Structure 1
């Protein structure tokens, strides 16, 4: 896992821009603490920071290769893990390709030489990479199918800047940090962002499952993968068996590493399944980690998304599976002090305690492991969230994952609301995403609606979680792998009818049946519980003080944008919400957007 950056420009000589490429690439040193590299040509510059996972001695980047009979190099800078690289390598060897390393990086280069851009269909893994084809004067930007690895770009007349994180693009003076009032809905709720959208004006993300070709005519984005809906003809037992088969293969492939490896084990169904499958395929000594808070036994309050504490279930799962488990216990009062580090990892508004606690967890894990397997995406793939089972929410005419929470944009000043019309914005976003649902001819009723609900959950909410996990882990040089994001698994489960996904009347019935023999009953039957939150009074007080500071500061970037009485009224309330820990969680973006705009000197336009 690594950090990539680069610049193509057809209007200038980039061989004179080494200091700028070094500055861009250097911002990503936390993503790749083990090595760095720069490659320059008249119209292209590629940079790389390496976190060595496979073939520790080989695999240095940017990496070059040549077509037979050509002196013009093809150059690659790559972040990710290709889980089927051994199979692809064997195919390429049979086609007379020769390799000088044992890395997956070299496999990607030779696959491009053999099959052209269409080779991306053959890749299984999490990845974001750039290929500069010198002979064709063409840049290829590619992102994995579910968007596990990030890739940003800024296209301007005559060129493109790209990077794993915004910070590398911000390091180039060609890009200016700006936002606008019409970005406030996604600043206040990042889950609303379209797959290509960022709060920075003119900065885009390569969409999951897409590639971009950039040449003298500009940058052109096309999909190389989409979900396809089709009839599912297998019975329940066959379906359960097939899910288990795919999971076994996926986890086995994702255990390949030349560095210490562990799992994240909360004691929920998803993480416990990954840990149990990992233990079956891993040599003795697999470790697992969870997170908890000082004082949690006293402070904890059950919510719809967090009905119970993790600790007893994590210990029960670890004992049953037979892994060496460690619970990382955090001081809630330390969380606010870590938020600046989380902001620096994101280059976007932090998620407060949720970013901070994950950062501290990963910091502790990194002292003992370099790779971790996690259970992200099981809820989106198999149907695990509370909103899948509340009929009023399911049939509501908006994003189901918004649940019953108030909209933070309702706290905007009346004149701002009149200008940006957030309710209309939400409806437009919903209509746009709903129109992209891959429908099945003849499907109707609850089955058709649940296909929409699942698809909508695979968009903003999943990208939001994957982005958070990538940023907090890579800021510490920790690679987190997510087996439930395997596209083969998703393609199969996507077409399993909803009634089979909830065959036993519970969430994630299909997954539960597939791993029933691996887990203790209390873990197997446990309700969905999200990443832990702290309800420490001391932490809540610190958040309230920070919120009051923003509201009282006339120099705040948000000054004049908010309806202050509404914000203060909401801050004093204790609204029961399906998707939020509490009212302060809902209001947190006000603090973090203020912090982001000040730290990054982001200007705001109407």
Structure 2
């Protein structure tokens, strides 16, 4: 787990940019405080911050390698972990290759040399990798299939820069001749969806390599990319009487995934909330580490904490449990720092407690496991039940549905049946936009009067839906969430908040072998018997404690509605809006009016307000340079 930074220069003048790369490394030192380094030849420059997890003494980066007849042909930097690196190394040794390290980085470059870019499909893990081929004079880049690890790209006349964090590219702006303008179109996407969808960022000219993609950078040319992972969700019918075989297969693949994810030369702990996902991971991890530490967080206000349930779960599996309670004052004080670590705002209040529990965990361990991805793979969101409840509408002819939709639109809000009629007669592609949408278009125009009138959330979702027409409705919703909510919100906050504390987070559900099992499940194995994740719950019956088996996952719920209306955050929100210099982008008076409506209880604007407030703090840091995030770099002992 590390931070990478690389530049492929348009001309063979790489020595002119070595100092710029070196100077940009410290701003992401939190991703790798154990060691850093640079490497360059005439065309390419690499920089690296390392968090030492595997083969601590030898697997230094940037790494150079080449076959006997072309020594040092390749230079590589790689962020992430490859959990099947031992098996891959053995496979390549049988093909005649010799290894000089025992880590998980060298098999990547050796495998790339032997198999080419398709080798990334064999990698079982999380990664963002860059390999410079000095013989072919081009740089190979790739990201893991789910987008667990980030990669930002920026191309100017000077060349193309890639980085684990956007702030490293921003710090190189003078050397690159890069203008730092806000991408207003990406801002509209953010305000509507509460995250910036890939491949965009909030700065013009800086993008992200999409999840599940690889590409080539050639000096002086544009980046070309190829998608290597396209989830199919080709579900299979389960013959009567064989359901238990499915449950056993899920249990076996999860057991194997957690075992692989426990590979490390440092201590591995586990996050633990009150739901089945993190509890299953922790229970399986306990089998491999009898001294497992688990971590959770909560709030002072009663009724908004998973602490008690998590503690009960930890006791049931025999793990030592550590709790961090976050006060509203701590929450507000940490927001500027968190927005700096995020690079782009994510309007998910749960990322703040995630930051604090990661901070607490880093005092004890260097790696934690977590349950992200279970909902998207196994059907865990309640909204996935909707196709079942709306199934009767499928038998109504389209013209009649359109007429009923017009009738529903004329009904006053609050009339019983209005919402059901509207949703039942609206095609899935138009009604489901992923697990988060802060504003509809009219609300968007309230705070962004200049927003494009023709813009709609389907601009983001339509290309994704176009690839899922062969899937059942539940699978189509899962497929959409893989490319929107999961990689736009869930994995961004997971990576950024743990890396902010130099803590490696591993997600065993988001494993290629686990997905190979999950994508074949029919709808009735996901949404069935009045619950979600039905097959996963059945598979975990002998693994997780009974009190969490059928409990809804809440994660780290935040009392944002209460805090924004009360003394905890209301004053902070007013001050943030009034002091913001983003008035050319966001209507500050409209935001203050929304805050007042929320305080009076006229409407729950908590999600919309938090979306705007997060952006204003981000703008104050990265555009106005008015807000000081007060970053303090740390130096943790390597033996943790």
Counterpart residue number, 2:3: 3
Provide the C-alpha distance between the structure 1 equivalents of 2:73 and 2:438, rounded to a whole number of angstroms: 54
Counterpart residue number, 2:637: none
Provide the C-alpha distance between the structure 2 equivalents of 1:318 and 1:331, rounded to a whole number of angstroms: 23
**Alignment check: 8 A CA contact 1:53 1:257 kept:** yes
Task: Indicate how the Cα distance of structure 1 residues 38 and 227 shifts in structure 2: closer, same or farther if over 3 A, else same.
Answer: same
Offset at residue 34 of structure 1 (A): 0.3
User: Which of the residues 532, 548, 551 maps onto 2:574?
Assistant: 548
- In the alignment, structure 2 segments of 5+ residues that lack a partner are 390-419, 626-640
Counterpart residue number, 1:344: 340
Counterpart residue number, 1:595: 617
Matched, 1:531 2:562: no
Matched, 1:410 2:472: no
Offset at residue 454 of structure 1 (A): 1.1
Offset at residue 244 of structure 1 (A): 1.0
Counterpart residue number, 1:375: 371
Offset at residue 490 of structure 1 (A): 1.7
**Alignment check: 8 A CA contact 2:594 2:605 kept:** no
Task: Indicate how the Cα distance of structure 1 residues 287 and 598 shifts in structure 2: closer, same or farther if over 3 A, else same.
Answer: same
Matched, 1:208 2:211: yes
**RMSD of equivalent CA atoms:** 2.6
Deviation beyond 6 Å, 4+ runs, structure 1: 574-577
Offset at residue 10 of structure 1 (A): 2.4
Counterpart residue number, 1:558: 583
TM-score of the aligned structures, taking structure 2 as reference length: 0.85
Counterpart residue number, 2:547: 522
Matches within 5 A, 1:339-488: 339-349=335-345, 351=347, 353-390=349-386, 391=389, 392=420, 397-401=430-434, 406-407=439-440, 410-413=443-446, 417=449, 419-421=451-453, 424-437=455-468, 439-440=469-470, 448-463=472-487, 464-488=489-513
Provide the C-alpha distance between the structure 1 equivalents of 2:319 and 2:139, rounded to a whole number of angstroms: 45
SS state of the match for residue 78, structure 2? strand
- In the alignment, structure 1 segments of 5+ residues that lack a partner are 302-308
Offset at residue 572 of structure 1 (A): 2.3
**Alignment check: 8 A CA contact 2:194 2:347 kept:** no
Deviation digits for residues 333-384 of structure 1 (CA, Å, limit 9, x no counterpart)? 2111111211121122254753332211111110001000000111111111
Provide the C-alpha distance between the structure 2 equivalents of 1:512 and 1:487, rounded to a whole number of angstroms: 20
State the number of aligned residues.
Answer: 579
Q: Which moved more, 1:247-256 or 1:494-503?
A: 494-503
**Alignment check: 8 A CA contact 1:408 1:587 kept:** no
Provide the C-alpha distance between the structure 2 equivalents of 1:146 and 1:352, rounded to a whole number of angstroms: 19
**Alignment check: 8 A CA contact 1:188 1:408 kept:** no
User: Which of the residues 282, 291, 297 maps onto 1:285?
Assistant: 291
Task: Indicate how the Cα distance of structure 1 residues 184 and 576 shifts in structure 2: closer, same or farther if over 3 A, else same.
Answer: farther
**Alignment check: 8 A CA contact 2:362 2:501 kept:** yes
SS state of the match for residue 571, structure 2? helix
Counterpart residue number, 2:405: none
Offset at residue 208 of structure 1 (A): 0.8
Deviation digits for residues 129-181 of structure 1 (CA, Å, limit 9, x no counterpart)? 10000111110111000000001101234621100010111111223321133
